Amino acid sequence: MSNKPISTGAEWTFELIEEYDREIGRIAANFGLDTYPNQIEVITSEQMMDAYASVGMPLNYHHWSYGKQFVETEQRYKRGQMGLAYEIVINSNPCIAYLMEENTMTMQALVIAHACYGHNSFFKGNYLFQTWTDASAIVDYLVFAKRFIAQCEERHGIDEVESILDACHALMNYGVNRYLRPKPLTAAEEKERLNAREEYNQRHINQLWNTIPKKEEGSDSSKQPRYPLEPEENLLYFIEKNAPLLESWQREIVRIVRKIAQYFYPQKQTQVMNEGWACFWHYTLLHQLYDEGFVNDGFMMEFLHSHSSVVYQPPFDSKSFSGINPYTLGYNMMQDIRRICENPTPEDYEWFPDIAGSNWQTTLDHAMRNYKDESFILQFLSPHLIRELRLFSIIDDSEKPTLHVSAIHNEPGYRQIREQLSAQYNLGNREPNIQVYNVDIRGNRSLTLRHFVHNNMPLGEDTEEVLKHIHTLWGFDVHLESVQPDNTTSASYHCPPKEKLELY
């Protein structure tokens, strides 16, 4: 205990925050955390509610749904039905973290460690964020978006803009690219490719085969090429590029919503990892702070109290159970990886030959950088942790009268549970897989979407409403068909609704 505690009371001051930040930052750098510079902003509870209402961003365009969220949050907060988060952190460069003024000094230190070094380094390091988001540009982009939409409202009226935004918001989950698009070919490249192909054909031409009579053309007129040739899963992108009737400002709004959806996409895919990483580091950093004598026992008691309530997982039959707590799962997995590296058991050597006994910092860093929730769980969930959390999996098949326990935390069940938990975090399984299948470009310009049915799960009751929104954007008839894996259509939706066959 060479150092004096930085503070002993509950009250925080800006000087103390600065001092804590300096010490935590120093320790984080010693652990090799690579972060964006931090911008720590102290805000009031009302400002926190504002931030809630604009999806956590420092600014956003105006829309009634944000207002709705605001009045809801305000109502529940004022009646004491919910607390507000201690912090909000934004994936930007510099990384903006909001700290609530109500927090005690300990909480501020915890939040600094959690957000400003935990989340921050995750934003900077994880491959999804690096691929899909541009941290240094997001705030500027929001400024642009807000201004552009305000201009549109002035020029075209609030209602016009609102109907486009409503429609786009309904499709927000279908406005993301999951895979990088190839760069569009330049004209020169295109020409070159054309020549190359021609030359290839010339060289491999075989006159003999040409004598075979051609198949009669036009025998199957329905076999026209589809447009788009490959199904397109980014509905907003497709609409932005192809909707026949949209004006350019409307296309720009579609693009804005799409860009923002894309910005949030990595966060949806890395919730467990991101929170786990941040919890792991606030735990580690603050313990190091304690070991160096910068904080006292009282601080640690308060910190551990909040830490343990954050990473508490209520069992499935508890009243407060609402799914697996991503903080618990993530934090425990991170700690477990460290344990496997530092104190491997024979079981770990068998399950994780690559990492058992390796350097825990390099291993964790590698895991943070190169995985998302789905693959992270598939790779790193250990039998040890499955036992500790007492995980079990249940199959709920609506065609059977009973639920079936398919695996529990025992030797035959480990792999199955790991696969199923991983699949649970696969966004592709959680949201219905809906893609643009065809546009009748030669006919009535109707848009046909396809829902590829997974595990026989039907679409929810909102579907018709969403179709109306798509209709607003597309401007012509919209059809949606649910297609089973065996290519049979199990349900279809239309907007405007198809007239029912009248029976006389």
What are the φ and ψ backbone dihedral angles of 98, each rounded to 5 degrees? -95, 130
Q: Is the peptide bond before 213 cis (omega within 30 degrees of 0)?
A: no
Considering the complex, state which of residue 40 and residue 341 has its C-beta at the smaller distance from other proteins.
40
Q: Which two tokens stand for residue 434?
A: 């809906």
Distance separating alpha carbons of residues 96 and 108, to the nearest angstrom: 15
Beta-sheet strand order (sheet of 433-439): 433-439, 447-452, 478-483, 489-495
Q: Which two tokens stand for residue 426?
A: 């696969």
Considering the complex, state which of residue 99 and residue 356 has its C-beta at the smaller distance from other proteins.
99
Q: Is the peptide bond before 94 cis (omega within 30 degrees of 0)?
A: yes
Considering the complex, state which of residue 27 and residue 341 has its C-beta at the smaller distance from other proteins.
27
Least Cβ distance, residue 65 to other proteins (angstroms): 6
Least Cβ distance, residue 483 to other proteins (angstroms): 14
Considering the complex, state which of residue 8 and residue 410 has its C-beta at the smaller distance from other proteins.
410
Least Cβ distance, residue 407 to other proteins (angstroms): 6
Decide if 451 contacts 298 (C-beta within 8 A).
no
What are the φ and ψ backbone dihedral angles of 219, each rounded to 5 degrees? -70, -30
Least Cβ distance, residue 154 to other proteins (angstroms): 14
Decide if 438 contacts 468 (C-beta within 8 A).
no
**Amino acid, single-letter form, for residue 81:** Q
Considering the complex, state which of residue 189 and residue 388 has its C-beta at the smaller distance from other proteins.
388
CA proximity to 293, closest of 10, 22, 23, 32: 23
Least Cβ distance, residue 174 to other proteins (angstroms): 7
Bridge-based pairing state of the strands 447-452 and 95-100: unpaired
Least Cβ distance, residue 406 to other proteins (angstroms): 7
Considering the complex, state which of residue 360 and residue 452 has its C-beta at the smaller distance from other proteins.
452
Distance separating alpha carbons of residues 272 and 128, to the nearest angstrom: 14
Considering the complex, state which of residue 78 and residue 498 has its C-beta at the smaller distance from other proteins.
78
Least Cβ distance, residue 371 to other proteins (angstroms): 18
Q: Which two tokens stand for residue 167?
A: 């429609």
